[in-house]
Amino acid sequence: MRIAQLAPLAESVPPKLYGGTERVIAWLVDELVELGHDVTLFASGDSQTKGKLHPVWPRALRLGRRGTDPNAACALLIEAIAERAGDFDLIHSHVDWVPLPVLSRTGVPFLTTMHGRLDLPGLSDVIGAFPNAAFISISDNQRQPLPDANWIATIQHGLPKDLLRPSYERGSYLAFLGRLTADKGPEAAMRIARAARMPLRIAAKIPRAETAYFKNKLEPNIDGQKVQLVGEVDDAKKQSFLANAAGLLFPIDWPEPFGLVMIEAMACGTPVIAYRSGSVPEVVEHGVTGFIVDGEEQAIRAVDQLERLDRQVVRARFEERFAASRMAREYEGRYRELLSRGLREGFEKGAAISRLAAGTASEPLR
C-alpha cells in the first residue's frame, strides 16, 4: 500500500526529547515499512524515518524559532497533503480535527487516530459534521465522551521490543516521568515517595505555561536528595532512568487516553503504580505488571508490595501486549478494511450510474 502519515509539527518524528504522539508515529512508520508498505511521512524537516520524508516545516516548532505561528505551519501541512493526495492509496492523520474538511474531499480513503482527550466542549459538533470520517481510539476509555463517532477500532500503542532493555534487579528509587502539570500528579508522587520512605527521581519537562506551578508547588520540595529533578531525558537516558527504578509512579488526575510511559516502564521490567483513571485499567494488569490504586494511601501500601512482582513477567507481558509490530499489524488490517470498503462503494456507485444511464435506476444516487 502507498500510505501517507500526517504528523503534528510541534515535535520532530521521533522527538528529540519529550513527545509521545510523535514517538508512536515514528515506530508505526518504521514497522509499516518493514511490512513492505510504501510510506510517506509528512512532518517537520528534522524528522528521521525509514519511510519517505515530506518536510512540511524546516524544524519542529517547540525547538525552533520562537514566535513561529503554528497555524501557518499547519496550513502548509494541509496544503501538502491536498496537493499529493492522489499519490496514495490511504491517508492516516494524527493531527486531530483540522485536516478533516480537506481529507473528506480528496476522494482518498483516510482515517484519524485520536491521541488526546475527547471530553472537551464542541467536539460532538465536529463529529456530527463528519459522520463518515473513520477514527481510531488508543483506548476504549478515550472514546467514551464521543460514542457517536465512527470508531472503527481501538489500537493500543506499541514500541519496538529492542528499544528499551529490561533490568531484573530491584531498583533503588521511585520514578516519575512526564510533563510537570497538576493533572499528571507530580505533587502526589512526592507525597507518596516521602510517606513510603523512598527516594523519588523526576524526569520531566516544564511547560512554559506551567512555570508558576513549578515554582510555587514543586520546586520547594525538590531537595536534590530525597527528591531529584533530572530534567527531560532522551531514549538513552530514559533506559537507565526507568530500568533502575523500583517502580514508576503514575498518579494522574485526568482521563489519560493511553499513557505511553507505562509501557516504557514495563519494557524495562519496571512495575507501575497508577491511579484508576482513564486508560490505566486497560494498560496495567493489577498484581502482574503493577498496581491500580485509588488514592495516595493505597499507592503508599503498593510501594511496599513492589517486591512481590516478578520483573521478568512484567517484561514478558510488555512483549506480548505492547510491541510496535503488533500495533502496525492492527493498523494494516484497518487500512485494508477501509480500502476494501472504498472499492466496494465505488463499484456500487458505478453500477448505479450504469443503471441510471440505461434508464433502470430505481432510486437516486447518494
- What's the 3-state SS for the chain? CEEEEECCCCCCCCCCCCCHHHHHHHHHHHHHHHCCCEEEEEEECCCCCCCEEEEEECCCCCCCCCCCCHHHHHHHHHHHHHHHHHHCCEEEECCCCCCHHHHCCCCCCEEEECCCCCCCCCHHHHHHHCCCCEEEECCCHHHCCCCCCEEEEECCCCECCCCCCCCCCCCCCEEEEEECCHHHCHHHHHHHHHHHCCCEEEEEECCHHHHHHHHHHHHHHCCCCCEEECCCCCHHHHHHHHHCCCEEEECCCCCCCCCHHHHHHHHCCCCEEEECCCCHHHHCCECCCEEEECCHHHHHHHHHCHHHCCHHHHHHHHHHHCEHHHHHHHHHHHHHHHHHHHHHHHHHHHHHHHHHHHCCCCCCCC
Average pLDDT by consecutive 10-residue portion of the chain (366 residues)?
A: 97 87 97 98 97 96 78 96 98 97 97 96 96 97 97 98 96 94 96 98 87 94 94 88 98 96 98 98 98 98 97 98 98 97 59 51 44
CA nearest to 19, candidates 183, 260, 195, 290: 260
CA nearest to 38, candidates 75, 102, 69, 84: 84
The x, y and z cell numbers of residue 19, run together, are 513527545
Res 62: pLDDT: 81
The x, y and z cell numbers of residue 312, run together, are 521478568
Res 342: pLDDT: 73
Res 153: pLDDT: 98
Is residue 98 within 8 A of residue 118, CB to CB? The reply is: no
Domains of the chain: 2-160+324-331 (3.40.50.2000), 174-321 (3.40.50.2000)
Nearest-Å Rg of the Cα atoms of the chain is 22
Question: Distances from the Cα of 239 to the Cαs of 47, 109, 176, 268, in angstroms?
Answer: 21, 38, 13, 7
Res 208: pLDDT: 80
Model-level pTM? 0.91
Q: How many CB atoms lie within 10 A of CB 69?
A: 9
Res 336: pLDDT: 98
Spatial separation of the C-alpha atoms in residues 131 and 113, rounded to whole Å: 15
